[in-house]
A and B are shown apart, each in its own frame.
Chain A
Amino acid sequence: MAEAVKEKPSSFAEVVENCCAQLRRRQIQGSLPCAKRTAEIMRALLTMQRHPDAASLIDDVRAVGYKLQAAKPVELAVGNIVRRVLHLIREEAQTEKSDSEADSNDAVPQGKADGKQDVMKSQGVEHLHANEVILTLGMSDTTYAFLREAARKREFQVVVAEGAPRYDGHLQARKLADAGIQVTAIPDSAVFAMMARANKVLVGAHAVLANGGAIAPAGIHMVALAAHKHSTPLVVLVGLHKLSPQFPHDPDLLYNDFRGPAEVADCDMQAQGLPQQMAYAAAHSGVGGGSSEEPSNSGTEARAQGASHPH
């Protein structure tokens, strides 16, 4: 999906611009692709440009990082990778006081992101016991890998909530079932009911914040509350590249990502509301903002601050 904009950019500035555009257009989506792309750009920065000393390199990295992060504030993984690179540069500068960062830097962040999955997967067996009922919401590659790995040694059932605006829970359910795991797909409304029978909740997250809260696909907050109510452990599966040092002061404003309302209410429905909306606006000009129907789709993100164990 990321290939659309790439057309052999000549200068480094163009590379960054391309990446920013892709982020804005949601051509790069999800923490892992964002982290990888950022790491690639950082490597390009190191290889394409020469820097006299560490300080100037740090300045450059920081400037590029800001730019990338500003393109898509909700993708906290971008900032995380940039910070990671900065850390490595500083370390390197301290120990060697030389400009040989280039070779040590390039592969590290990327390797981290990829390797994380394996480490995490291997923990699956440790946390699941036989005949457990696991509840999850939506699609998460991490969760999928985790469960599939655990299914090699354990027999358990998974309950998958569909994850309404995106319905990627359907895909998750299908994939898990194809992988030989007993799966039950439920609508999101049944999460509360099924929580009474779930032993654990496993969810993937978009990012984990400094206070332990997680940013995850919409609906996770409800799941976390239900898990809390039923005293079910909720485990958030994330790679290290998703751990962010930032605090959610007002996460709804800062870290949310809104998509078009068409996924929630189709255009027919919105059109039906239009005349009434106009009539209402005419009648109550000034009151209630005049909008009679405004489906709001808080898209991908919602904040969850339940008990979370970032792995």
Chain B
Amino acid sequence: MDSKKPDLHRTSSRRSTHESQVEGAVPVPKTIVGFHVDGASPSPATEGLLSKEAGRSSFTEGGGSPTPVIIPPTFQRERFETREPTPQEGSAGASTGVAPAFGSVPAGSTSQQSGEGSIASGIPASARPKSLDLPAPDVPGPNTTQQQGNSGVVPPFVTSPAVVQSAVPGFEVGKPPQSQPAQPSAPPVHRSPSPAAAAPAAGVAPSSLHGFSVNSAQQQTQPQAQQAQPSLPQQQPQRLQQPPVQQPQKQQPQQPQQQGSSAPKLKEMSKAERRALQEAQRAAKAGGQKDQDGGSRKEGGGGGGGGASAGRAHSVASSESHSSHRGGAAGGKESKSAATGQKAEDKGAPAASLGDAAAKAPKRRPARKVVSLNSTELFAHLPPYQKVSVSSLLSHKDAVHMHPAVLQLGLRYADGTIKGATARCLAMLHTFCQVIQEYVTPPGKSLSRDLTHELNTIIDLLVQCRPLAVSMANTIRRLKMRIHSIDVNAPEAEAKRALIEDIRRYIEVQIIAADRLLVDCAVQKVTDGDVILTFAYSHIVANVLTKAAALGRTFKVMVVDCRPELEGQRMLEKLQASGIACSYIHLNALSFVVRDVTKVFLGAAAIMSNGTVMGRAGNAAVAMTAHAHSKPVLVCCESFKFHERVQLDSITHNELGDPDALVSLPGYPGVSPLAGWQDIPRLGLLNLKYDAMPAEYVTMIVTEYGMIPPTSVPVILREQQQDASASGGGGGM
């Protein structure tokens, strides 16, 4: 089921694109939008870009958005579901104060084409009558998360109040009772989107904070909760006291009462109440969990080491305070620093090797229990996975002013309909083109400076949806250099045209032509009778193999795949379509088939200057196995994905995926034992997106420059830098 989901998105969103194109007023930008959906094939890009100029000013003039925003089906669904709470809609819109802001933005442009049904309409949702009933950014938050994650496994305890407390902070004193019926059932663990969504409404200085920092500002209040806990007499072992999920639950009832009260009173109330609630909850837990030998767990917890308990408490605090505390930022800060110190002490010796991570941990707290203890130490330096929904995206402080294409792109990144280093980079460049075309320098500012600022805000938003890929980072750097070099006195229209022309050339030279050259190069290595092993999906490898098949070579392909993404199935489809004989195997069975293999072709997300290849998680294991069996490993990677950083292992720079993706087992009967993992205090799931393949496993790297050993990556990097510094020679920008 999981494996088919992305596919479904892709196809159906493609359809919706089509619809919107039919009805959209301006025919020109269709190709761009259409391209975005597909995400893998670079070909239609240039035409769209070139023709884009025609539709340039349409957006600002209100003649219908040139880039109808297509909200992927997931989000649509969520919208429709959140529509149900009718009584509250009006008040929610009024009380948040976010919605009016939207109305003021591009209302004129988007509302005109609303006939297409909510698919194509602009993201400034509140402009349209239909989405007005969307009860403002913060309410759908929990609903979405429940729907996307958790796969419907709602713990029995959860009732509507749980949501109230998570959703309410945004409303502040507004109209809490009305928001209660909004969520019929909701996940117990509070997810990040809501506080982020709530913050602007609550007046937490939204102007200076983007999504992440808003989050952390919220989290600063966490230690309050943490400190309140140890004072409870019956719970000495710190880590035991709050299974992170249940804590929020039992605070549910008190929440409505707290709404009206002032901050200090609130704290006292909550202490007393919490104790009573905890007792009740413990009793419930003892009753419920008898079979899980809860007794032994408690013993183990009591004797626990310091570092462990600190980490535990930390994560507990983070999840808890989301739900309970929001006032008193100053007090929160104090207690935060105290907690930080304590944590640092506690970690001490055992975590010495992880010192860096530990030091950074307090800065970026996981918004939820992504991976509990292990990851708070090991992966504290990585941004925790956050589900991005339309509403959470709209709550971003810049979202109001953002070009809808950017929001669309962000959603695409977040839901995985655009993935892969090249596709993401291309999609980003197209979006930039649209933004630049419609960009108007504010009076009194210079284009080069203001446009850079504009791009930075866009990139901020994109990063919130998904961390940047190396390819994107490289491209952005080039683009910024190019913008810097714009003459201040040049007329705006001309500068913009030149800029877009350069972007177009960059795409042509660095991506499209590079791909072509690379494929031509790599195809030479596919010979008759080969058995080629490949892993997951890489569009460049797929292109190489289909080209080889088109050239009439006879060979077999073994597609190795791995959960949770199962991208190999996409590869399998593509290869089969071109008539290549394929075998499909799991990564675990690799060592069984690898002896029949003659060559291994792999794609890459990035290549570091020490030759380390970053790729989809599992790449390294495949290369290692092949290396152990003395099979040549060819990595296909365009040079714009090279990066001068050095990476030693997979942990330092990586990306955390959705942990819930591990739980669902497509095609397996019954419920996975991991279902409801959020309720198990000592269980964490980790979904790493990338891993680092050491250079020793790489026989050669195929680039558009030819085939090079991994040791020659720095040479290419140096040449590229010289190219770039020689005023945008060769590669476009």
Contact = CB atoms under 8 A, between A and B. Distances in A.
Interface residues of A, number: 73
The SS class assigned to the A binding surface is mixed
Contacts of B719: none
B374 interface: yes
Interface stretch (B55-63, B180-188, B302-310): B302-310
Nearest to A179: B296
A221 B594 CA distance: 12
A111 interface: no
Most chain B CB neighbours (cut-off 10 Å) among A157, A287, A303: A157
A289 B569 CA distance: 21
Name B's interface SS: mixed
A164 B562 contact: yes
B625 interface: yes
Interface stretch (A59-67, A189-197, A235-243): A189-197
B620 A192 contact: yes
A294 B625 CA distance: 21
A3 to B, nearest CB: 21
A173 B682 CA distance: 10
B651 A174 contact: no
Contact of A190 (B297, B572, B688): B688
Given A157-B373, A179-B296, A167 B665 contact: yes
Interface string B601-638: 00000000000000011101100110010000000000
A264 B569 CA distance: 11
Contact of B588 (A130, A165, A179, A185): A165
Contacts of A155: 300, 303-305, 308
A254 to B, nearest CB: 13
B168 interface: no
Interface string B637-657: 000000000000111001000
A288 B585 contact: no
A276 to B, nearest CB: 5
A9 B350 CA distance: 59
Nearest to B1: A266
B117 interface: no
Contacts of B677: 185
Given A181-B682, A186-B686, A187-B562, A219 B584 contact: no
Nearest to B582: A293
Chain B interface bracket (under 10, 10 to 19, 20 to 34, 35 or more): 35 or more
A252 interface: yes
B491 interface: no
A189 B563 contact: yes
B566 to A, nearest CB: 10
B467 interface: no
Given A131-B305, A189-B618, A164 B628 contact: no
A245 B685 CA distance: 40
B673 A171 contact: yes
Contacts of B303: 155
B588 to A, nearest CB: 3
A185 B665 CA distance: 14
B486 interface: no
A187 B564 contact: yes
A293 B378 CA distance: 40
B375 A184 contact: yes
Nearest to A294: B583
Contacts of A157: 373-374
B666 interface: yes
A110 B121 CA distance: 72
Contacts of B621: 188-189, 191-192, 222, 226
Interface stretch (B97-105, B131-139, B573-581): B573-581
B375 A219 contact: no
A296 B591 CA distance: 12
A184 B686 contact: yes
Contact of B589 (A152, A174, A218, A284): A218
A180 B372 CA distance: 13
Contact of A193 (B573, B620, B673): B620
A229 interface: yes
B672 interface: yes
A265 interface: yes
Contacts of A178: 292-293, 297, 680
Nearest to B697: A229
Contacts of B293: 178-179
Given A189-B621, A279-B579, A222 B590 contact: yes
B586 A165 contact: yes
Contacts of B587: 164, 188-189, 219, 222
Contact of A188 (B351, B562, B576, B579): B562
Nearest to A283: B579
Contacts of B586: 164-165, 188, 218, 264, 297
B546 to A, nearest CB: 13
B297 A256 contact: no
Nearest to B528: A287
B593 interface: yes
A5 interface: no
Interface string A120-134: 000000000011010
Nearest to B617: A189
A170 interface: yes
Given A131-B305, A151-B300, A178-B680, A296 B589 contact: yes
Nearest to B560: A189
Contacts of A189: 562-563, 587, 616-618, 621, 688, 691
Contacts of A298: 585, 588-589, 592-593
Contacts of B577: 276
Contact of B650 (A167, A193, A272): A193
Interface in A156-215: 157, 159, 162-165, 167, 170-171, 173-175, 177-194, 196-197
Contact of B680 (A177, A226, A262): A177
A191 B688 CA distance: 10
Contacts of A303: 591
Interface string B375-389: 100100000000000
B425 interface: no
A130 B350 contact: yes
Interface of A: 130-131, 133, 151-152, 155, 157, 159, 162-165, 167, 170-171, 173-175, 177-194, 196-197, 218-219, 221-222, 225-226, 229, 252, 256, 262-266, 269, 272-273, 276, 279-280, 283-284, 287-289, 291-298, 302-303
11 contacts: A131-B305, A159-B686, A170-B673, A183-B684, A222-B591, A252-B592, A264-B585, A269-B572, A269-B584, A276-B577, A298-B589
User: Which 10 residue pairs are nearest across A and B when measured between Cβ atoms?
Assistant: A189-B618, A219-B588, A193-B650, A180-B300, A180-B297, A177-B683, A221-B591, A174-B673, A298-B592, A131-B350
Given A162-B563, A196-B651, A289-B581, 14 more contacts: A130-B305, A164-B563, A178-B293, A182-B372, A190-B691, A192-B618, A193-B691, A218-B588, A225-B624, A229-B624, A266-B666, A276-B577, A276-B579, A288-B581
